[in-house]
Amino acid sequence: MVKFEFCSLSYLNMWLSQDRLFIENLASNNRSDQLKELGKIAAAYRIARNLPLAGDKHKDKKRYEPVLKIINRISGPVEEKKVICLVTKTKKEICEEYNINEALSLTTKFLWFKFQSPILIYDSRARNALKTETGNYENFCKEWKKGSSRIHVESNAEVHHFRTHSFLTGYQVQDTARWESKIQ
C-alpha cells in the first residue's frame, strides 16, 4: 500500500513544478494564453480524449474555446454550498457543446484549475477508492469530505516533514507557507 506521506510529497512536487503554473497562467487575461493552458491541462491530466476535436472544429473555433467560454462566464470565488450545482450545470453545458454524454471528470478538473477550493476533482481512481457510484458527484463529495477529515491529523505531520526536509529541494519558506495553506 502506498503511504500517505509518499502521495503528499509526490503531489507537492507536481504542484510546485506543474499545477501552480497551470493555475497562474489560466488566470491570465489573455484568451490565447488561457486556451494554451487548457490544452496543457488536458494533456497532463489525460482528459483531451474526452472532448472530440469535431466539437471545436465544426464551429470554426480553436481547441477548447467552447470550454473556456463556459468556465470564463463563471465568476468566483465559488461558494461551497453551490459547488454541486455549479459542476452539474457546467458539465451539462460542456456535454451539449461537444455533443457528448459524460464530462464530469474533465469539468471538475478544469473548474479546479480555475477556482481551486472548494471544487473537488472527480476522478475514477478517487471514486474507486471512495467506493462511490459512477457519475454521482454529490455522493463523491460527501465521501471525500468524510475521508479528508480522517487524514487531517496526518496532513499536519506532513507539513512538519516537509518543513524539515525542504532544504533538500531548495524550496523557500514562502513555498512551504503556500503549500500549508492549500492543505489546511
pLDDT tens-digit profile of 92-137? 999 999 999 999 999 999 999 999 989 999 988 888 888 999 999 9
How far are the Cα atoms of 61, 121, 147, 167, 171 from residue 118, in angstroms, in the given order?
30, 10, 15, 31, 26
Confidence of residue 1 (pLDDT cuts 50, 70, 90): low
Indicate the burial class of 108 (C-beta count within 10 angstroms; 0-12, 13-18, 19 or more).
Answer: buried
pLDDT computed for residue 88 by the predictor = 97
Q: Give percent above pLDDT 90 in the chain.
A: 54
- For residue 16, what is the DSSP state? I
- Print the domain residue range for 47: 4-183
d(CA 28, CA 3): 36
Average pLDDT, the chain: 81
Domain count, the chain: 1
pLDDT tens digits, one per residue of 4-44:
778 778 888 888 889 999 999 999 999 999 999 999 999 99
Residue 63 DSSP code: T
pLDDT value at 182 more than 60:
no
The verdict on whether omega for the bond into residue 77 sits within 30 degrees of 0, i.e. cis, is yes
Do residues 165 and 6 touch, judged by C-beta distance below 8 A? no
Report whether 104 contacts 91 (CB < 8 A): yes
Please state, in angstroms and rounded to a whole number, the distance separating the CA atoms of residues 82 and 89. Answer: 11
Please give the model's pTM, rounded to 2 decimal places: 0.78
Using CA atoms of 99, 65, 106, 141 in order, give the dihedral in degrees to the nearest 10: -100
Quote the pLDDT of residue 146: 84
